[in-house]
Every structure is written in C-alpha cells, then in structure tokens.
Chain A
Amino acid sequence: MSSGNGQAPAVEVSGLVKQFGAVRALDGLSLTIPRGIIYGLLGPNGAGKTTLIRALIGLVRPTSGSVQVMGYNVLTAGAQVRAGSGYMTQSPALYSELSVWENVDFSARIFGLTDGGKRKERISQVLQLVELDQRANTPVSNLSGGMRQRVLLACTLVHQPQLLLLDEPTVGVDPQLRYSFWRYFRTLADSGVTLIVSSHVMDEAERCDRLGLMRAGKLLAEGTAAEIRARAGTANLEDAFLQLSGITPLPASDSGGGDRIQQ
C-alpha cells in the first residue's frame, strides 16, 4: 500500500474554495491533518463536510485552492491518492442485487486485490469485523439499514487503506456495534492509519484526537476536544460548538436533551 511522499502530513489543504452555482460549499478553507490520528469533522447540515471529503479524494474539482493528500497533489496524482484511501459515502451506496460478499469482493478487486486466496481471507476478516460473516450470502436488498452501513464499512476497509475518509460512518448502527467500530478505528490509528470522520454525535467527537468545527464552508475552530472546550469556556463540547457557531447555548438544564448539534 502506498504511504505517499515521505512524511508529509496526511492532508494539507489551503485556501480551498468550492462554488456550486450560488452556493459556496467551501469558502477558503485551510487545514492540516497529521498522520496516524483520528480527525473529527463536525458541523451542521450543509456545512461542507461531505464536499471537503470529496475534494480530498478528487471527486470534487476545487474552484480554487490546493489539496495535498499523503504528499500527493490530488489534481495531478489522484490515482495514487485513491489507491491508498478508503472513502465511505454518507449514503449506503451498494449494489442491492448483489450479496454482501459480492459487494465487498467487487470493492476488493477494484482496489487491486488480485490474489484470490488473500482476497477471500481479507473479505472474511472484514465481514467478521462488521459482524456480517453469517450474512455473507444475503442480498443487500434484504438487509436492515444499519447492516447496509456495516457492509459499506467493510467495502471501505477491505483493501487496508492508509487514509480512511468516513462520512458519518455510524449512522443507523446500534450502540454496541458503534462502540466496537470506534475501538477498531483506534486500533487502526495506532497502527499508523489516518482517519477523517464526519459526525454529528458528541460522544464520537470526544473519541477523536483532533476536531475541526465547520460552518458555511469555513473552519471555525480546530484542536483537541479539551482545547475547544477551553476556548469556548464551556463544560461540554456541544455547548462549545453552539457557542463558537455564534448560537447562544441553551440553559444548562435543557442541554442534556440531545447529542446532536442544533442548526
């Protein structure tokens, strides 16, 4: 697996702008993410999280600005970036006629796992990880929403990428499995894999090494969870984000009501 140019940071974005007609989805965003950490992207709906992730993998052509991933310029060396990355889309994009195994197998082949024996072994491994090894032959159309999300994660992990771009990976996944996902994310980060995870869930944000708070295509705040809390002068992350977004946090008695960022 390609580890890119030397020890360049996993992601180096500067002055990134993406204009969709009248909408400026990314508005001069600059960001550096070191290797081997879990980086959390947070922000309200429409903040530009998905657009940023797509730009990192070359699926969105920037209006202006530069994007370096693993030391490669994504515009000129996109193939290298993509070969070493795994992108889990926000919607469970799977071939519904195909079985679980066939979906993961297709991803594996596309990413160059040509050795049949090794591929089979690896597919079994990731299916065990997402606890779908018993459902390998079930057509995806017969799976529950959370199960589809798990197949998608298996497809993303199968080629052992060095950079993982996970767009809300745990949506619809039950708490127990979410817990084991995050434990596995940590194992991956410890082994040197860089993970960029978008989320709306606060307890997930707490598990990230660093966080970036996005709003209207800009990075509002960046740092560890503790740094962000300290900067906002609030006791919990949710209040910190509301504060930093310029929205007055709700009175303390109400703030335990949800674990999602309010728009």
Chain B
Amino acid sequence: MSIARTLAVTRRIINQLRHDRRTLGLIFGAPILLLGLLGYLLRSEENTSLTLAISNQDAGAGVVNAGQLLTSKLKQSVGIVVKDISGDVREAVRNGTVDAALVFSPTFSADLLAHRPVAITVLLEGSNPSQTGGAVLQLQRAVMQVVASLSASVPGGTAPPQVRINPDLIYGSLNLKPLDYFAPALIGFFAFFLIFVITCVSFLRERTQGTMERLFASPITRGEVVVGYMLGFGLFAMIQALIIVLFTTLVLQVNYTGNLFLVFLVTLLLAIGAVNLGIFLSSFARTELQAVQFIPLVIAPSFLLSGLLFPVKDMPGWLQGVSDVLPMTYANSALTDIMIRGKGLLDVLPEFGVLLLFAALMVVVASLTLRREVA
C-alpha cells in the first residue's frame, strides 16, 4: 500500500469538496438545521399543557357540589388549562378546541358521599394513540390528587373514594395501535419522498448527460417537457400509491375506517406535486450529489413539521407558519381524516384544494424555471 497514492486520493477528495461549497455547507449546516428543528419540537413538547373542558352536570348533595370543587381545584393543577366551553363539549373535543373534556354525572356528589364507586367520563379525540394514552394518564393523576385532597376536607369522609376514569373516544378506539396512527401519514410521506428524489435526479441527469440540450433544440416547449414528465412519473406514482395502500391495509392490517379510493387520490395528488417540485429544484443543482442534498433540506423538515410526529398545534408559532406551507401537512391531515376519522370527500375538500393548488403551482414554477438556453 502506497501512502503517497492513498494521500493523493484523500487530497483529491478535499479539493473536490472545496470546490463544491454547497456540499460543504450541507455537511456542516444540515445537522444544525435538523437538530435545531428537533430541539425546538421536543422542547415545546415538554411544556405543553393539556387543555380541558369540563361539563359539570353534578346536581350536588346538600351544600356540597363535588363537581364544582373538583373543577376549581383542577384549574390550579400544574399542566392543565381549563377552558370554559359554553356549547357542546363533545364538539369542542372533536374540532380540537380542547384536548379532552371531563363529564361529571348528575349523581357525582351523591355517589361520592355515599361511598359508591364513581366514574368520570373523559372525552378524547382518539386518533393519536400516544396522545390518548398520555392524556388519560395525566388526567387520572390530577383527578386522584384532587379527589384525595377533597375527601380529606369533606366531613365524615375518611375512606378514600373509588373514582374511575372512563375514556370515551370520538374516533378510533383504545386498541388503536401507533402503526394505525402513523400509517396514513407514512403513506403520504413515502409517496412524496421517493417520487421527489427520483424525478429530481432523472431531470438533473437529462441536463448533465446533454440530452436536455438536444431536447430544447427541437420545437418542444418548456410546458410540454414539464407536463410530459409529470404524466410519466405520475403513472408510476399512481402504481406506487396503490401498492402502498394495499400493502398497509392488507399485509400490515392497518385499521382504517375511510374510503381507500380517497386515500389513493390524496397520495396521487401529493406525488404529482412532488414530481414538479423535483423538476423545479433540480435546476438548483449541478450534480446528482447536490440533488441528493435536497433530502435533508426539503424532505426532513416536511417529515418533522407536517404533524406526523409532533402535533402542529403544539409547535412554536413560527414553526407552525412553516408547517402551514408544507404540502405534507395537508396530505397528512387529509389522510388521517379519511383513514382514522372516516371522513368523506367533502370534509377533506380544503386539503384537496391545497394539494391541487400546490401541484398546479409547481407545474407553473417548474416550467418557468426551466431554461431553453444553455447559457
């Protein structure tokens, strides 16, 4: 083994990277970007509090209204924010105004005083199993603490009361597994990611191998190239979407309640956006190496900020702003709505609209950035 030859290779690599500022920037900058994002997301996850609505139907027992007492005590609990909801608490949970709602039954005080077992109903949205589990635990702990301190102050009540938390999920069920929750978002993510990378690299290759120059020496227009690419890769995106949907439902046995055709449609729409995003971004890369660098810069933020891992509403404000412009966010929300909440086309129409708009915008932007001239 020759040291000189080995070092010659090393030296060449150093020189190549020195000339490729973008790759250098990525090697040093991307970890900061990604760790920074994760840091923000995890930090904000730490101090999120549970917003709670309380529906107190407790008729009270004599002077005592345990429901009221519990409510005022819960308002002082750490990590819990009680929101006053005037209307239907179920609706508030459904539309995400609150994370959960407690319902005290009319006989709540009476049952407590009579040392009968009491069940407090907790209404939860239910589509995200890990959030559901966390909320139930947190409420259980808070309620038990409050009840214990209350029973100490109630005259004659010495035996600890038997209070049970009874979760009531609007969507899904308690045996919804994390995979069931992640599946919809993962379906969208893979379609987007793979189609984006493949289009971006093949378009770039057209430029580096010189076929683009020949293509543009023909009467073909930029729009024809972009739409042609879109249809070509769109076909494969369609087959891919079909395979993903069938595999997750048939082989992985993911629980879903909604319409599979809608799932397919959302995935396809997202993939078409990805094709054109790939074409658009390929004009900002000179080599395949630089094209691959769009993965940490474009795809990873999509993954982290689209609400797949971290709920968008718990993110710091500026990250929510970023999340709002990511097509993945809308695909995620639509796919979760369809697959877990069993919603129909009309309910996810806004998300469809955004995805369609994104795809259309990308076709235009990709066509406009494409240059006939080599220089």
Q: Which B residues touch A89, using CB under 8 A?
A: 210, 213-214, 217
**A175 at the B interface (CB under 8 A):** no
- Which of A59, A78, A94 sits near B374, CB closer than 8 Å? A59
Q: A79-B219, A83-B219, A112-B219 are in contact. Are A93 and B373 (CB under 8 A)?
A: no
Shortest A167–chain B CB gap in Å is 10
Does A85 reach chain B (CB closer than 8 Å)? yes
The reply to whether A93 and B209 contact each other, CB–CB distance below 8 Å, is yes
- B216 contacts the other chain (Cβ, under 8 Å)? yes
Within 8 A of A (CB), among B328-375: 372-375
Q: Does B211 contact A (CB under 8 A)?
A: yes
Assess the A110–B211 pair: CB atoms within 8 A. Answer: no
- By a CB distance below 8 angstroms, the chain A residues around B221 are 79
Cβ of A155 < 8 Å from any Cβ of B?
A: yes
Minimum distance in angstroms from B235 CB to a CB of chain A: 17
Residues of A within 8 A of B209 (CB): 93-96
Q: Answer yes or no: B35 CB below 8 A from chain A CBs.
A: no
Contact A155 B214 (CB under 8 A): yes
* B residues in contact with A92, CB < 8 Å: 210
Chain A residues with Cβ below 8 Å from B375 are: 20, 60-61
**Complex: how many Å from CA A57 to CA B218?**
9
A143 to chain B, nearest CB (A): 14
Confirm or deny: B24 has a beta carbon within 8 angstroms of a beta carbon on chain A.
no
Identify which of B210, B216, B218 contacts A111 (C-beta below 8 A). B218
Beta-carbon contact of B218 and A110 below 8 Å:
yes
Smallest Cβ distance from B369 to chain A, in angstroms?
16
Q: Is the CB of A54 closer than 8 A to any CB of chain B?
A: yes
Measured between beta carbons, the chain A residues less than 8 angstroms from B219 are 79, 82-83, 110-112
B114 interface contact, C-beta 8 A: no
Which residues does chain B contribute within 8 Å of A110, judged by CB atoms?
215, 218-220
In A187-244, the 8 Å CB interface with B consists of none
Is A36 on the interface with B (CB-CB < 8 A)? Answer: no
Tell whether A93 pairs with B211 under 8 Å between CB atoms, given A59-B216, A59-B217. yes
A114 to chain B, nearest CB (A): 13
Contact indicator per residue, chain A 120-157, by CB within 8 Å of chain B (1) or not (0): 00000000000000000000000000000000000100
Q: Decide: A59 near B373, CB < 8 A? Known: A89-B213, A93-B213, A94-B211.
A: yes
User: Considering only CB atoms, which chain A residue lies closest to B216 in the complex?
Assistant: A59
- B373:A87 contact, CB within 8 angstroms: no
How close is A53's CB to chain B, nearest CB, in angstroms?
10
A71-108 to B contact mask, C-beta < 8 Å, 1/0: 00000001100110101010111111000000000010
Chain A residues with Cβ below 8 Å from B216 are 59
How far does the alpha carbon of A232 sit from the alpha carbon of B213 in the complex, in Å?
37
A58 interface residue (CB < 8 Å to B): yes
Counting from the closest, the 6 A-B pairs by CB-CB distance are A93-B210, A87-B217, A83-B219, A110-B218, A93-B211, A79-B219
**Could you give 27 example pairs across A and B, Cβ below 8 Å?**
A20-B375, A54-B213, A54-B374, A58-B372, A58-B373, A59-B217, A59-B372, A60-B373, A60-B374, A61-B373, A78-B372, A79-B219, A82-B218, A83-B218, A83-B219, A85-B217, A87-B217, A89-B210, A91-B210, A92-B210, A93-B209, A93-B210, A93-B214, A95-B209, A95-B211, A110-B215, A111-B218
- What residues make up the interface of B, taking CB atoms closer than 8 Å to A? 209-211, 213-221, 372-375
